[in-house]
Every structure is written in C-alpha cells, then in structure tokens.
C-alpha cells in the first residue's frame, strides 16, 4: 500500500470516528424529539422520521398537569439562585482574590470542601431548617438550599478571575481614597462581565437541573420544579407511562438549555476548566 492510500484510509477512518461520536452524543436527544412528535399509537412504531408529526403530546403536557406553572417555578428558582449566589460570591471573591489576610487559604479550602458535600448528607438537617423557617413547599427553600452547590464554584472561579487582574487597577482607586465597596462596584464589576456570565450560566444550569432538594422540599404539584414534574409524570398505572408526554416535556425544558449552551459554548468550556484544572 502506498503512503498516499494509507493516508486517505486514515483520514476516512478519522471522519468515520467523528460521525460515530456525533451520532452517539446527539441521537438520544434526536430520538426524544422524534418520539415527542408521534401521537397516539404512532409512538409505538419505530420510525426514525415521524411520518405524521403531531403536537398532541405537547398540548397534553400542559393540559394534564400544571406544567406551565412548573416552568415558571424553575425560572424563578434558577434566576434567584444565580442573583443571590453571584452577589455573595462577587463580594467574597474580591476579599479572597485581592486582599492579603490570615486564614485566606483555609477559607478557600473550606469553600472547596463544601463542594464535595453529598446533598444527601445535609438533607435531614436542611429539611429541619426549611421547616423552621416556614419555607416548606415554598420555592424560596430551593433558592436557599441551592447555595450549597452554587456558592463554592462561583466563589472559586471568581476568586481565580479577580486574582489575575492587574494590581495597578485598584491602586489608583485606593490612593484616591475609594472605599472597598466603590472599588468592587466601579473598578471590578465592569471588567467581570465575561466571568459573571460564565459562572452565572453554570449556576443557572445547576439550579435548573437540581432534583433531590426540589423533590423533598416541595409537596404540591403547583410548587414542583420542572425536573420533579418530569420525573413524576405518571399514567393510569405504573406500566402505562405516557412516554409521549414525557418526551414532549423533556424537549421543552432542554431546548432552551441547549441553545444557551451552544451560544456560550466557549465561555462554558473555559469556566468548567478554570474551576477544575486550576483548582
């Protein structure tokens, strides 16, 4: 075999591998979309392209349970989680990233340690806390409890970011007698746009996807977030799951996420790796 044919075969094999990777990662979601468009008994035929696409499942999801309300709940919880954790993390990361003081390293590692906590390990204590605060079956219980997994990585990533900004930035402001609060809001905030967008998006996705706390701290169908609603969709009996509805609901809540991720893919990749590799 000549070198040239060898090269061509190698190239074809490589592209074949790429096709396999794309098929592997994309097919399951493609299949969910196809299934969601099959109404009635069409669903039970294996067809890789829906011959009679119909919206019935999408209509049924909203008719048979408060799914619209569930989506609003998820949006409220995710947005409030992002706002609260970013506000707390920006302040903390300024101190951790820019100011030398005793105990800084210990604090950083404590924060990192919290990210190792299994959620189940705080579940009973959190349940007690939520009830004591009168937040049981209230969306604010989720905003509060989600801080346990959003704060560690927002603080960590923003601290890394703050530390890398040049020293001169702040020196001029300090000489001018600016107070730390002014320094954070006027000097650093304008520069932090990209970092805030990345960490905010990661926090949003984490909150949007969370299941265990949402399952435990809410009771009524009206208060459920989307993951809980999708997990608990049930049919007449446990053997007759309405798969069409489940697929439709899955597509509805996933499409916005995928769009966000594709738009911000570069930022997400750098955010994920900044959190992990440098940590």
Which of the residues 216 through 255 are near another protein (CB under 8 A)? 216, 226-228, 230-231, 243, 246-247, 250, 253-254
Of residues 95 and 197, the one with the C-beta less far from another protein: 95
One of 9, 12, 13, 31 touching another protein (CB under 8 A) = 31
Single out the residue of 191, 181, 187 nearest to residue 95, CA to CA: 181
Smallest gap, in angstroms, from Cβ of residue 194 to another protein? Answer: 17
CA 34 to chain centre: 25
Residues 6+ apart with CB under 8 A from 224: 70, 73, 214, 218, 232
Interaction between residue 39 and another protein (CB under 8 A): no
76 binds another protein (CB under 8 A): no
Residues contacting residue 274 through CB under 8 Å, at least 6 positions apart = 157, 160, 161
Site for another protein contains 24 (CB under 8 A): yes
> Smallest gap, in angstroms, from Cβ of residue 141 to another protein?
10
* Cα-based distances in Å from 181 to 38, 115, 153, 175, 213: 56, 28, 22, 15, 34
- Part in contact with another protein (CB under 8 A); list of ranges 52-60, 62-70, 190-198, 267-275: 267-275
User: Would you say 79 or 91 has its CB closer to another protein?
Assistant: 91
Is position 187 an interface residue for another protein (rule: CB under 8 A)? Answer: no
How many CA atoms does the CB half-sphere of 144 hold within 13 Å? 15
Q: Which is nearer to another protein, 54 or 107 (CB)?
A: 107
Q: Are 245 and 36 in contact (CB under 8 A)?
A: no
Task: Determine, following the binding rule CB under 8 A, whether residue 55 of this chain makes contact with another protein.
Answer: no
Q: Which residue has the tokens 């738009």?
A: 263
CB 184, min distance to another protein, A? 8
């Amino acid at each position: 075999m000549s070198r040239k044919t060898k090269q061509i075969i190698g190239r074809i094999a490589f592209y074949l591998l790429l096709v396999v990777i794309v098929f592997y990662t994309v097919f399951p979601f493609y299949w969910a979309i196809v299934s969601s468009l099959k109404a009635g008994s069409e669903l039970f035929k294996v067809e890789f392209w829906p011959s009679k696409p119909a919206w019935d499942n999408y209509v049924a999801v909203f008719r048979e349970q408060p799914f619209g309300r569930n989506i609003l709940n998820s949006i409220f919880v995710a947005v409030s989680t992002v706002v609260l954790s970013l506000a707390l993390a920006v302040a903390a990361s300024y101190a951790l990233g820019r100011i030398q003081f005793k105990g800084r390293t210990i604090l950083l590692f404590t924060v990192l340690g919290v990210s190792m906590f299994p959620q189940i390990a705080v579940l009973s204590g959190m349940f007690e806390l939520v009830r004591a605060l009168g937040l049981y079956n209230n969306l604010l219980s989720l905003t509060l409890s989600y801080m346990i997994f959003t704060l560690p990585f927002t603080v960590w990533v923003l601290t890394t970011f703050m530390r890398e900004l040049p020293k001169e930035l702040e020196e001029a402001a300090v000489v001018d007698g600016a107070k730390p609060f002014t320094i954070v809001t006027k000097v650093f905030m304008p520069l932090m746009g990209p970092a805030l967008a990345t960490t905010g998006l990661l926090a949003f996705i984490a909150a949007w996807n969370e299941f265990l706390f949402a399952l435990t701290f809410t009771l009524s169908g009206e208060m459920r977030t989307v993951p809980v609603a999708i997990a608990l969709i049930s049919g007449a009996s446990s053997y007759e799951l309405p798969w069409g509805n489940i697929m439709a609901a899955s597509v509805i809540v996933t499409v916005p996420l995928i769009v966000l991720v594709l738009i911000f893919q570069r930022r997400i990749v750098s955010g994920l790796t900044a959190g992990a590799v440098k940590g």
